Every structure is written in structure tokens, then in C-alpha cells.
Chains A and B, each alone.
Chain A
Amino acid sequence: MTTSVFSAGADIFWRNQLHLRRRPMLIASTLIEPVMFTVLIGFVFGGSLGGQAYREYIVAGLLTQAAIFTASYTAVGLALDLQDGMVDRFRTLPIPRLAVLAGRTTSDLVNTSVSLVVTALCGLAIGWRPHTGPLEIAAAFALCLLFAFAMSWVGAFIALVTPSVQVAGSLGLIWLFPASFVSSGFVVTTTLPGPLEAIANWSPVSGLGNALRSLFGNPAPPGFRVPHGWAAVHPVAYTVCVCALLIVLFAALSVWRYRRRTNR
């Protein structure tokens, strides 16, 4: 009697895609953000931090940042649907609860893919080059999307525990800054003070950044002392494990909150 999670999820995915196309401001920010961060970090900070070698180092960080921003898109998109009553409409239909959430988190990956491509183009424009084969490059982008999917579920959970679009928007955004900067994304973690270094070394954001560098064959600039922990030495395996764990955890938490959430 109930429509399957795949078919219902696919229908909601397409509905969200229509939204994406009809919200030009959203597309604009997807395009502008990567360019902005490339310029800010590559050239505002880059000059003091190592010039060309540094600019090549940070592209992995920029891609990581494009992926982590999925959380804020999902938080706002789902919060809007909760506010407008669309979620209530979906909840009165014979579809699995997971379908509404999965339709959202998968469709936000499309947005993120655009961001990732723009980021990579910006990277190429500032002199970054992958030094490996097409398989490694494909794996690198797949890993970005896996990480983005995990972040999207975090964003979904944020939308479901916050009372309004405004709160979901700001909460969905502010944690991204410490999360993306306390990592190996733009600096070498060994330069951080003790506790921050420990956090950064085990941060999934560092995991993805290190994994991307290893898959693209982008070495750290000369003089950068890279850490030697398990996470840093096996970045791809570490990132895959952490993403899987985050997806399972936040999907379960989100479904639980979705069930309990009642908008009066």
C-alpha cells in the first residue's frame, strides 16, 4: 500500500531539482562561493603562506569546503519545506518517512557537484594539476560526494532540531567555519597548538583533504611537516569509514526526529 522508498525518494528528488532550477539565487551562490574562496585563500593568504606551492596544496581544502557546504544547503532546504507545510503534505501521503529526507539529501548532491566542478576549474586556473590517472581522479570526486552526502544528513538533522528557517540557516552555516579551518584543508596541522592539532588530525575534513591530496598526487609544499597518525597515513580508508558512520548515524537521528516533529 505504501509507495516504495526508492520510487517516492526519486519523485521528491525530481521535485527538489525543479526547485533548484527555479531558484536562481541558489545557483548563483553555488557558482560564486568556490570562486570567492579560491581568491580569498589562494591569493589573500596564499602570498604569505608559500605562493604557488601553497595554492596547489589548498585545492584539496577548497574541494572539501565545497563538499562540507552541502550541510547548509540541506539545512535551509529542508527547513523551508518544514515551514511551508510541504513536509506535512508529504507526511499525509503513503510514503516511507525516509523518502522525504533521502529525496532531499540526494538532490542536494547535484548542487554540490556543480560546486565541486567550479572549484576544480578555479583550481586549474590557479595552477593546480592532478598528477595521477583518471581512476584516481574519479575516486577523488566520488569521495567528495560521499563526504558531501554525510554532511547533507548532518544538515537534515540540523533542520529537524531547529525551530525556524532562520535558525537552521545560521546553525547550518556557523559550524562549517571551525570545521573546515581546524583541519589540514588550508594549513598543516602540525603548526596548530596541541588540542587543536589533535582535533584537526582526526577531523573527517582533514581526512578528506589528505585523501584528495593523495589521490591527486599533490604533495605538501616543502617545509610542511605532515602528521604521521593512522588517519593521516590511510586517509582514503579513514574518510570512507567516517563518512559511512556519519551517514548511518545522522540518517537514523534524522528519521527519529522527523517522526517526532510536529508543526502546530
Chain B
Amino acid sequence: MRESDGPVVHTRNLRKRYPGGTEALAGIDVNISAGEVRALLGPNGAGKTTLVRVLTTLLPPTSGTAVVNGWDVVTRGGEVRASVGVAGQYAAVDDLLTGLENLHLIAKLRGMRHRAARRAAEEMLGRFRLEAKANQRVSTYSGGTRRRLDLAAALLGHPPVVILDEPTTGLDPESRLDVWESIGDLTAAGTTVLLTTQYLEEADRLADRVTVVDHGRIVAEGTTDELKSASGLTRLVLRLADGHSLDAAAAAVADATGAIPEVEPRVRRISATTADGPAALATVLSTVDKDAIAEIGVQRPTLDDVFLRLTARQEVRA
């Protein structure tokens, strides 16, 4: 039976235990409404890809329910697959086929007739600026072009839900911007998007809301602003005047905040997260020579700070 109201993607107490005993999903409850762009953020091994595989029917859950576009992923897999476009690290494009052939094949497998499939493929090639490469084999494409084709494949036939698994992993910064732009276009079209990422900047830039997962559980959820406020963190930022020792100032900041400061020697900037910004600020002002301070202040935390706090993996720096 189809549930037509409510969130487009909905999971309740979703669990996945692999045969080896690893619990990749340890009870996930997530609701994504129509037209929303949701980022699923988490370190490697957090369970992001497992969740994507369950939602795309590639993997059956151990228990709990997952409903996509009103269809249960276990009992109505065919309908779920018809509703979802997938791109990302594993959903490959065919190296030996040209870009046009790839899209044409996928359009036909989505049930379009020959001519309609051809038109849909050409429309996507245009939209993703791939016309010039349409008749070249994918094996000749650069990483960024390939990802654009992958995205185009996911969007063929305008599925109501698009799931992107780490769409920019391994891309150079320029290609990443390119892919971001394409995803931005999607959101303008009102498609519901779930994207997984390890890049905070990506989540910050593309998503309406962010779900942070770690060890198969949701550890936080909200807009990026909400997450920053809820973390209770602030970032103490100090810029040093020329001719004063960065090391000494960094030590003072470390003492005041209890955190390992980030030092950017080129701009003579030292910063560290702290739960009590004003107190740390007062401490630094009393210990560091006034002449050495070019600029000092307390700022909102970056999403990095929030993420590291939430996932408690201070040694990992994204």
C-alpha cells in the first residue's frame, strides 16, 4: 500500500547488521520532506553508504522500515527503483559506451520508448554541458565529466527522488564546483535530494538540512545554523601583529581554550574552539602582550568544529 502523505523519504528504527556482525545501521530515523535537499554527513564507516544502499533497494535492512516516495523498499522494490535516480561512487557509467549511449540505455531501461529515450538523453547531455563529448567513449572522459554524466544518468526521466552517494569524492576543486552547480540546478527543479558527503563545505553549501551520522546512529540533525548554535561551541580567533612569536601565542590560546589551536602562519592567524568564548578571550588578553595582538574575537564555530565535536574524532581533520 502506498502512503501518499508525509515525508518523501522516511525510515523508522532502520537497522542493518552485516553477516560478520558489524552493525552498520543501529536504528536510523530520518524524514525528508518533498523538495528538500538533505545532506548525510559522517566520517568513513559511519553507515552512510549502507543507508543509501538500503534506500535504493540494493541491500535489504535487517529490521525497521524504510519508505521512499510512498513505497516500502522491501516489499515494493520495483516502485522504489522507478522513483529514485542514483549517482555516486558505485553506480557506474559504462566505459566502453559513449555518453549518449550510456544515457540512451538507461532511459530505455527506465521504460522509455526508443525516440523518447533518445530525446531524454539529448536533453540531459545539453543540461550537463556534455554535447561536445556525447559521441566519445566514457573511458576518455575526465573525472569531472564522468561525474556529470553520472548525475545526468541519475536525473533521466526526472525521478522525484535523487540519491547521490559522495558525488564529489576524488574530484579536483574545479570539477567539484561544477558538480555543485549541477546539484544546485536540481534543487531549483523541486526534486527531493539525499546526498552523502564527508565534506562539510559541501553539506553547508548544498543542503537545507544536515543529518550527522556516526557508528550507524544519528548524532545530530538540523540546519547548519541550528547545528552550530546547538553545539554550544565558539571559536576564538587571534591575529598576531608582525614580529611576535606565533608559538608563544599559540601556547597561550591552547592554555585558555584547552583545545589544540589551528595556526595559519601565512596570515599570522591562530584559532581554537572552546565552550566558553568570553572566558577564553579574557584569559588570552591577560596573558598575551597587547602589542602582539592585531585582532582578536569570538566567532561562531565552523561546521568542521561542530562535526568533530559530534563525532568525537578529534584526530581526523576534514
Contact = CB atoms under 8 A, between A and B. Distances in A.
Interface string A71-113: 0000000000000111011111111000000000000000000
Contact of B109 (A1, A19, A90, A263): A90
Nearest to B105: A15
Contacts of A88: 58, 90-92
B95 interface: yes
Given A1-B79, A19-B96, A89 B108 contact: no
Nearest to B91: A89
A180 B282 CA distance: 86
B96 A22 contact: yes
A262 interface: yes
B84 interface: yes
B197 interface: no
Interface string B234-259: 00000000000000000000000000
Interface string B110-153: 11000000000000000000000000010000000000000001
Interface string A21-53: 011000000000000000000000000000000
Contacts of A22: 96, 137
A47 B81 CA distance: 60
Contact of B58 (A7, A23, A91): A91
B81 A92 contact: yes
Nearest to A259: B60
B174 to A, nearest CB: 25
A86 B102 CA distance: 11
A22 B94 CA distance: 12
Given A2-B78, A23-B96, A84-B92, A92 B86 contact: yes
B90 A3 contact: no
Interface in A172-212: none
A18 B98 CA distance: 10
Given A88-B58, A95-B109, A1 B97 contact: no
A86 B91 CA distance: 7
Interface size class of A (residues with CB under 8 A): 20 to 34
Contacts of A93: 81, 106, 109-110
A94 B94 CA distance: 18
Interface string B43-65: 00000010001001111000000
A11 B58 contact: no
A239 B106 CA distance: 38
Given A18-B101, A88-B58, A262-B59, A94 B110 contact: yes
A8 interface: yes
Contact of B57 (A11, A89, A92): A92
Contacts of A262: 53, 58-59
Contact of B91 (A1, A15, A85, A94): A85
A7 B105 CA distance: 11
Given A11-B108, A85-B92, A94 B78 contact: yes
Interface string B63-93: 0000000000000001101101010001111
Contacts of B105: 11-12, 14-15
Contacts of A12: 105, 109
Nearest to A86: B92
Given A89-B106, A262-B59, 13 more contacts: A1-B79, A2-B78, A3-B110, A8-B108, A8-B109, A11-B108, A15-B97, A15-B105, A88-B91, A89-B153, A90-B109, A91-B57, A92-B81
Interface of A: 1-3, 7-8, 11-12, 14-15, 18-19, 22-23, 84-86, 88-95, 262-264
Interface of B: 49, 53, 56-59, 78-79, 81-82, 84, 86, 90-97, 101, 105-106, 108-111, 137, 153
24 contacts: A1-B78, A2-B81, A2-B82, A3-B109, A8-B108, A11-B108, A11-B109, A15-B94, A18-B97, A18-B101, A22-B96, A22-B137, A85-B90, A85-B92, A86-B92, A89-B93, A89-B106, A90-B109, A91-B57, A92-B56, A92-B86, A93-B106, A94-B111, A262-B58
- The 7 A-B pairs at the shortest CB distance, nearest first, are namely A85-B92, A94-B82, A94-B81, A2-B78, A3-B111, A92-B86, A1-B82
